[in-house]
Each structure stands twice: as structure tokens, then as C-alpha cells.
Amino acid sequence: MDSGLITRSTRRLLKPGYLAVKRMFFRSWFAGLKRELPLYGRVLVVAPHPDDEALGLGGTILRFLDGGTDVHILFMTQGEASHDDLDKAAVSRSRTRISDEVLACMGIDATRVTRWSLPDGAIPRRGASGFEEAAGRLGEVLETVRPEALFVTHPMETWPYDHVASFEIAEAALNEYSGSCDFYGYVVWLWYSLPMRMIFSINRAATYTLPVGTRRERKEVLVRHYLEPLAPNGKPWSGVLPKAMLKALEYPCEVLTRLA
């Protein structure tokens, strides 16, 4: 029998246990960190895909809204690549419609939402064609919105690459911003994608674990609204997320790091 096949088979058997141990290790490592952000007057949240804002930052966004913060959302893509076997335009329309419903449920007016059409799965990375243009466009959004804080997917999310690309674009845009703005990276996939040994590369002193608290049920409704509607192929419009990643979302806090 091919030893490579044995190795792959063994890895498949070990992976659920490894992910469970990693999740517990991450939770232990994140315990006891700062638990409250300033209540900003105006914030901009950058989401690579329609659902990232609710999965990674839904409770914090609800807290801001409850406190009177003017919350703006920018979606980099329309999430059209979540299904290879479906028409991309149909996927885009459905994911945008669902996202509109989620934001309306949050209480975010459509005038506070910006939707781009960067290629899902291929948002340009630093140095790639289209990167400078995207950073310039985000710079224009910053100058228009004038946020006191900018939130984007965490730079240590080693995958999906759209999350890293979104951070790089946001960082480049913020470097040219004429105003003063705090900068945060929020966690969506880090629980699943980051190798355990790399957690020590995160600046723990600048990292927050923000309790979702009484807003937990409201966040769960938002997440279900994204993950439960099914496409014609019987799978969620947002795609099939790994069980280990969904398990991490049960953590009653949201994790983010202040980057600047």
C-alpha cells in the first residue's frame, strides 16, 4: 500500500482531534485579555465576503449600534465563489440579498453599506495587479466616512487569502489617510487556519477578547440567517463551513487585535 496514502489517511483521522486541542489551546491563550473597546462615534468594518462581519464581529457591531455608533460596512466581494457548480451571478445576487436582510436586522441603513465586486477568491495581494487601485478606492472611502476606528480581518488569518488581502489593502489605505483612526484586526478563520505554534506571534498585549454577553442570541440569529438558507444544490449559499470552524464560533467572546 502506498505510504503517501497511509499518511493522508492518518492525517484525516487525526485532524478532528488536533483541531479540538487547538481550539481549547487558543481559548486558554486568549483568556484574561482586555475585554472592552472604546465606544467610537463612527467606525468602518471591512469584510472580505458577505458574512464575515457577522461571524467575526457581530456582537461588537451590535454593541456599537446599541451605543449609538455610526457603523459603516464595506464588502470587498459579493461572495460569488462559494459554489463552483452554480452560476456566479445567481450566487452573488442571493448572497447580497441575504446580507441586506442581515444588515437590516442589525439596524444598519443601506446608505451605510458599500459593496465592491473584487473577485471572490482572488482579492489582489500586496504587489499584485489591482492592489494599488483597491487601496486607493478604500482610501476614498476612508476620506468620505472619516471613521474613528477601522476593523478588518486579522493579518494572522493565514487562510482564506482574501482575508489577508483585505488586511493588506486596508493597511495600505490607512497609511495614506489624512485623519486619525484606530486599526483593529478581527478573527474569523484564525481558529481553524492558524498553525498552533504561530499563535505566539500575535501581540497578546494588544489583543482583546470581547464578551458577546446579552447580545449572543441576537448574533446567533444573524449567523443562522447567513448559514441556513440553501442554494439549489442543497448547500448553504455561504458555502459549507468546516465543523471545527463553526465550533469555534461558540466561543462567547470575539477576538481582535489592535494593530495601530
Residue 12 confidence (pLDDT): 77
The set of residues, in sequence order, having a beta carbon less than 8 Å from that of 117 and lying 6+ positions away, is 77, 78
Alpha-carbon gap, residue 198 to 190, rounded angstroms: 10
Residue 6 confidence (pLDDT): 52
Question: Strands of 113-115's sheet, edge to edge?
Answer: 113-115, 70-75, 42-47, 149-153, 182-186, 253-258, 207-211
Domains of the chain (ranges, CATH numbers): 3-258 (3.40.50.10320)
- pLDDT tens digit string along 53-67? 999 999 999 999 999
Alpha-carbon gap, residue 58 to 220, rounded angstroms: 9
Parts of the chain with a pLDDT under 50? 1-3
Residue 146 confidence (pLDDT): 98
Q: Three cell numbers at 203? A: 501581540
CB 118 within 8 A of CB 134: yes
| Burial of residue 234 (number of CB atoms within 10 Å: 0-12, 13-18, 19+) | exposed
pTM of the predicted model, to two decimals? Answer: 0.95
The DSSP bridge pattern shows strands 207-211 and 253-258 to be antiparallel
Residue 2 confidence (pLDDT): 46
Residue 14 confidence (pLDDT): 82
Q: Minimal CA–CA distance to 177: which of 213, 219, 147?
A: 147
